[in-house]
Structure 1
């Protein structure tokens, strides 16, 4: 298990192919994909394909979505991380958590440490975050960690707010 970031309450580690059931459970939880413009997963093989084709390749660049576990009991609660978006040549800060762990500050804690890691350890020049126009909880996370609102755009036929952070923040 390769740990990337440790926070006061969380451990962020690289996923492995053995984590396909965790990805499936997360994406199948009610409400998790409400504001996400991607199809849901219906079986472990589809989750394994996401790991193999989307998540794991990012690790070669020291980026990626990392599994988030609580420190006190090692429960898997979601993912957080940085992803290079080829279509825009941007680094995207993203996170996704299971509903029982919403509203407890985990997303903010994981996102803040991930942002700091990207800016200060990976020396990235800028990092973007996007949130569906109606997802005020996610917008609040991005604002709490110091990202600045940039603009609204249409992405995959969905209106999203774009936030940006640079090393000077």
Structure 2
């Protein structure tokens, strides 16, 4: 298991192809994907493709979406991480949690530590975060991490609010 870092309550690690059932579980819930323009996954083969085509290639650059597990029982609750988006020339903060993990502060904890890791360990200059304009919970997380609101825009045909944080170094 390739652990990226730990927080007081969470462990973040790299995904492997063996994690297709976890991705399927997460991305087959319509409420989890409500504000995203992604299709619901229906098969492990689709989840494997997400891993092999989207998630795992980011690890070559020490970036990526990392599996989140709770320390107290090792339960998989979602992912958080940094992704290079070449079409936007930016490093994007993202997070996605199972409904059972909502409302416990896990997303904020993971996001704050991911930003810290990106700025201080990876020496990233600027990290960008976006959320759908109607996703109030996610917008609050971006604000609480210390990210600053930049603008409203449309990305991937989705109306979003864009935030960023810069490395003070």
TM over 0.5: yes
What pairs with 1:1-12 in structure 2 (closer than 5 Å)?
A: 1-12=1-12
Please say if residues 133 and 159 of structure 1, whose CA atoms lie closer than 8 Å, have aligned partners that are also in contact. Answer: yes
Cα deviation code 1:46-93 (max 9, x no counterpart): 000000010000001000000000000000000000000011110000
- Give the alignment's TM-score, normalised by structure 1: 0.98
- Give the alignment's TM-score, normalised by structure 2: 0.98
Q: Write out the 4+ residue segments of structure 1 that deviate beyond 3 Å after TM superposition.
A: none
Gaps of at least 5 residues in structure 2 are none
Please say if residues 13 and 68 of structure 2, whose CA atoms lie closer than 8 Å, have aligned partners that are also in contact. Answer: yes
Aligned residues: 169
Partner of 1:20: 20
- In 2: Cα distance, 1:65 partner to 1:147 partner: 19
Larger deviation: 153-162 or 96-105? 153-162
Cα deviation code 1:2-36 (max 9, x no counterpart): 00010000000000000000000001124100001
In angstroms, what is the RMSD of aligned CA positions? 1.0
- In 1: Cα distance, 2:81 partner to 2:158 partner: 22
Gaps of at least 5 residues in structure 1 are none
Deviation at 1:158, TM superposition (A): 1.5
